[in-house]
Amino acid sequence: MDKIRILVVDDESRMRKLVKDFLSKKNYDVIEAENGEKAVDIFFENKDISLIILDVMMPKMDGWQVCREIRQYSKVPIIMLTAKSDEKDELLGFELGVDEYISKPFSPKILVARVEAILRRTNTLEDEVIEIGGILLDKAAHQVKIDGVAVDLSYKEFELLTYFITNQGVALSRERILNNVWNYDYFGDARTIDTHVKKLRSKMGAQGDYIKTIWGMGYKFEVEA
């Protein structure tokens, strides 16, 4: 199988090297661009780029312009990197079709986890069986085992746990969970998620603690180090 190709765009060579080193360890093929213009040229020259990691502040053409240009022709997943955490910037990013938003400084391991989560969501990475923190999740069999013991989950509980695991380390709002797990076809109260999470946690035993509550927002799945 060919390596999955990722384009890393940042005007800081040290940042590009850091990201490239961590992605290369996971067997990704990384292409670098030091400014927005070069990024756009590289993207249109290479038809097999599966994901773009894109810095906002760059000379010649900034990340927003790059995103606008590429979004006219492609829905390739884009992760934006920024030195400042500004709600208006994040909202602009999501309006432009950014898939994920990460503020600097960040943990390279978390960045890799988010890359893999996005690639799974877009079926570029398709792990039928995922093992994490004593949990074994088999997508094909729709089965979950915790510490080797089968756990009986409803269909939506299974889908919810799958969504949490494939987005490990990502803060997820209730609305986002609802849109992805219930697929926009649920018009009730977003608090239905709280009910499902409560049931899911109780069935998972000690591993239920991996599902962290983010007060006023939603949840995050995080395995203790």
Condensed to tens digits (0 to 9), the pLDDT of residues 83-101 reads 766 667 677 777 788 888 8
Report whether 39 contacts 66 (CB < 8 A): yes
Residue 26 tokens read as: 């996971």
Q: Give the per-residue pLDDT at 84.
A: 67
Report whether 63 contacts 12 (CB < 8 A): no
Q: Give the per-residue pLDDT at 184.
A: 52
- What residue segments make up the domains of the chain, in order of their start? 5-124, 129-221
Query: Which residues pair with residue 136 across a beta bridge?
Result: 131, 145
pLDDT of residue 1 exceeding 50:
no
pLDDT of residue 186 exceeding 80:
no
Q: What is the pTM of this model?
A: 0.57
Query: CA-CA distance, 186 to 36, in Å (whole number)?
Result: 40
Q: What is the 3-state secondary structure (H, E, C) of 94-126?
A: HHCCCCEEEECCCCHHHHHHHHHHHHHHCCCCC
Q: Give the per-residue pLDDT at 60.
A: 82
What is the mean predicted confidence (pLDDT) over 156-160?
90
Q: What is the pLDDT of residues 189-225, one digit of tens each?
A: 667 889 999 999 999 999 999 999 999 889 999 987 5
Q: Name the CATH code of domain 129-221 (choices 3.30.1360.80, 1.10.10.10, 3.20.20.70, 1.20.140.10).
A: 1.10.10.10
Report whether 9 contacts 36 (CB < 8 A): yes
Q: Give the per-residue pLDDT at 67.
A: 92
Q: Tell the CATH superfamily of the 5-124 domain.
A: Response regulator (3.40.50.2300)
Query: CA-CA distance, 54 to 86, in Å (whole number)?
Result: 16
Q: What is the pLDDT of residues 104-149, one digit of tens each?
A: 888 888 899 889 888 877 766 555 788 899 999 987 778 899 999 9
Q: Give the per-residue pLDDT at 92.
A: 74
Q: What is the pLDDT of residues 34-59, one digit of tens each?
A: 999 999 999 999 878 999 999 998 88
Q: Give the per-residue pLDDT at 125.
A: 59
